[in-house]
Amino acid sequence: MIIPLNEWHHVAYTFDYTTNVLYVDGVQVDAETTAPDDRTPNQVWLGSIDGVNSLFRGQMEEVRVWAVTRSA
């Protein structure tokens, strides 16, 4: 999917302990199933793959984190 530049877009990611799903503007663009993982995350990066590389070059107006998996 090619996302047009200079426009506002809604990007959402969900994870229900089995399936990772990525949505752009309400449309599912990717999904991947992973083995369950009971480790506690201790780091997170927004706009980067590792905090140093592949940095996001745009603006984020709002970020929300939910304790439950949201639907499309």
Break the chain down into helix, strand, coil percent, rounded to 5: 0, 25, 75
Q: Taking the model in full, what pTM does it have?
A: 0.70
pLDDT of 21:
92
Report pLDDT digits (tens) over 22-71. 999 999 999 999 887 777 778 888 888 888 888 888 888 898 888 888 77
- Antiparallel, parallel or unpaired: β 19-24 and 11-15: antiparallel
The b-or-e profile of 16-38 (16+ CB within 10 A means b, else e) is eeeeebebeeeeeeeeeeeeeee
